[in-house]
Amino acid sequence: MKRNAQTVVGHTFLLGDKYSKPLKAFYLGKNAKPQVLQMGSYGLGLSRILAACVELLSTETDIAWPDVLAPYNVAVIPPKAGSKEEQVTKDVPENLYKLLEDSIPQLKDNVLLDDRLSLTIGRRYLDAKRTGYRYIVVINEKSSGEKPTFEMNDTKETDRLYLSQEELIEYVKQNTKF
């Protein structure tokens, strides 16, 4: 359930004279008499920022993050171990992983290769979606050969696209706010 945009992420603390009194921090008041300073502090709480993002952007079933806060921007999901797709795609997942990191400097250390090959693609896809990865790339039999095509799911736009390697890289570059 989405809530209103008035979620509080800042903190304010009134410290009173707890620190100013021992430090003898005074100012001259109206009658030129020394008065103890009243102190306060404020700041942004990291945990409150994260909680506000989850509260405002997510759905009941899936977490959604701003691109700059996502645990990973891209999740690459290879075929399940022992499947016919695994035999056909061999090095495709690892190569795509490296290509994404090398082609888009902002994706360095921001691409996840889901190596839980004992799980089905569907299970890993749901996990990636629930965790809040922006782009989920599924490797299948169409991802190898002369003109490989990748199933790319943009969870923010709820789009499922079938893109060539070059189109995939360009789409991520154009649509991610780093």
- Angle (CA) 62 110 131, round 5°: 15
HEC readout, 48-61:
HHHHHHHHHHCCCC
Q: What is the pLDDT of residue 178?
A: 79
pLDDT of 1 strictly over 60: no
Q: What is the pLDDT of residue 6?
A: 59
- Domain 74-175 matching CATH 3.40.50.800: the answer reads yes
Q: Is-contact 135 67, C-beta < 8 A?
A: no
Question: Is the full-model pTM beyond 0.85?
Answer: no
Kindly provide the b/e burial profile for residues 12-30, where b requires at least 16 CB atoms within 10 angstroms of the residue's own CB.
eeeeeeeebeeeeeeeeee
Q: What is the pLDDT of residue 96?
A: 96
Task: Look at residue 14 and give its three-state secondary structure.
Answer: strand
Alpha carbon distances (Å) from 118 to 38, 77, 86, 121 = 61, 12, 12, 9
pLDDT of 5 strictly over 90: no
Which of 102, 96, 86 is closest to 148 using CA atoms? 96
Domain ranges in the chain are 10-57, 74-175
* Least confident segment among 11-20, 26-35, 45-54: 45-54
Q: What is the pLDDT of residues 110-143, one digit of tens each?
A: 999 999 999 999 999 999 999 999 999 999 999 9
